[in-house]
Amino acid sequence: MPELPEVETVRRVLEERLKGSTITAYELGRPTFYRRPPKAALAGLVGSTVEGVRRRGKYLILLLSGGKSLTLHLGMSGRVCLGGGGAHLRFRLVLGDAVVCFHDARRFGRVGCKLPRLGCEPLEPEFNGPSLFRALRARRAPIKAALMDQGIVAGLGNIYATEALFAAGLRPGRAAGSLSGADCARLAGAIKKVLSSAVALGGSTLADEAYRDPLGRAGGFQERTCVYGRTRGRCGHALKATRRPIAGRTSLYCPVCQR
C-alpha cells in the first residue's frame, strides 16, 4: 500500500516528467462513482504550469503557477500512470503531449483534498530520537499505532512501521510512552534507515501488485523485508502475530529479536 517510499518514488518520476509542463485539460472519472474533487481545487487548473511536485507524508502536491497547488492521496490502491488508459480511472490530467492518470480501484484515494495536521517528516533532521521521545512520552497507545498515526510521524503505514520496529528490536504492542530515550533514538534511526532504503529501491510491490511507479516499474523493497509478509523472519526465527490487531491491522513481530 502506498506509504512514504512509494509516494516519494511517484513524486520523483512526476517531477522529472512534468516540471515545466502546462495543464491543457483534465477529466474526472465517473462522478457518481468517485466523489467530485472540491470546486476550488479544480478552478484555474487548465492553463497552470507545474512548477514542482512535493510530498508531505503520503500526500503528493503538484505545485502550480499562480501559487496554486493540487493534492493527491493514493489511499489503498491508488495508482498514478504516465500515459495509457486502464481501469478505474478517477482523474486524468493532460499536459500537452503528456497524460497522467490516477486509477483508484478501492476508491480510498483523494484528489484536491486539504492536508490534515501532519507530524514530522521522518527523513528530515527534525525527526530524531529526542523529538520522537517528546512526541511519544504521554502516549499510552501501542507504539505501532503511534507510528502509524500521521499526526505524530507522517508517512508510515503497516509495512514500514512493522519493519522499523523489528530493526529497533521493539515489540509493536508496547506502550509508546514506555520507550526510553535510548529506545527512541534507536527507533528514529531504524525508521530513517528502513525508509531511505525503501526509497532507494523504489518502494514495495507486494504480491497483489497494487503499487507500481508511474512508468509501471515495480519496487524492490518487498524482497528485503525482515518481517512483513513472511512467516519466518529474516532473522531465522518463527514470527508471531500480536494477540489482537493493532490499529485494526495484523501485527507481526519476532518474539526473539523484539523485546
2, 5, 37, 172: the active-site residue: 2
17, 55, 58, 144: the active-site residue: 58
**Least distance to DNA from the beta carbon of 75, Å?**
5
Query: Are 58 and 2 spatial neighbours (Cβ–Cβ below 8 Å)?
Result: yes
Distances in whole angstroms, Cα of residue 188 to Cα of each of 55, 56, 124, 130, 138: 20, 18, 11, 9, 17
**Least distance to DNA from the beta carbon of 179, Å?**
12
Nearer to DNA, 126 or 138 (CB): 138
**Least distance to DNA from the beta carbon of 66, Å?**
25
Nearer to DNA, 17 or 58 (CB): 58
CA distance linking residue 156 with residue 249, whole number of Å: 13
What letter would DSSP give residue 223? G
Query: Are 190 and 182 spatial neighbours (Cβ–Cβ below 8 Å)?
Result: no
Query: Could you confirm whether 19 is annotated as catalytic?
Result: no
**Least distance to DNA from the beta carbon of 145, Å?**
5
Query: Could you confirm whether 2 is annotated as catalytic?
Result: yes
Instruction: Report the 10 Å Cβ neighbour count for 223.
Output: 9
Query: Are 80 and 14 spatial neighbours (Cβ–Cβ below 8 Å)?
Result: yes
CA distance linking residue 8 with residue 37, whole number of Å: 23
Give every CB contact of residue 113 below 8 A, 6+ residues apart in sequence: 37, 38, 41, 59, 71, 73
**Least distance to DNA from the beta carbon of 152, Å?**
8
Nearer to DNA, 87 or 97 (CB): 87
The residue ranges that bind DNA (CB under 7 A) are 1-3, 33, 57-59, 73, 75-77, 87-88, 105-108, 113, 116, 138-142, 145-146, 148-150, 157-159, 176, 207-209, 245, 248-250
Query: Could you confirm whether 58 is annotated as catalytic?
Result: yes
Q: Which residues pair with residue 241 across a beta bridge?
A: 252
Active site residue ranges: 2-3, 58, 249
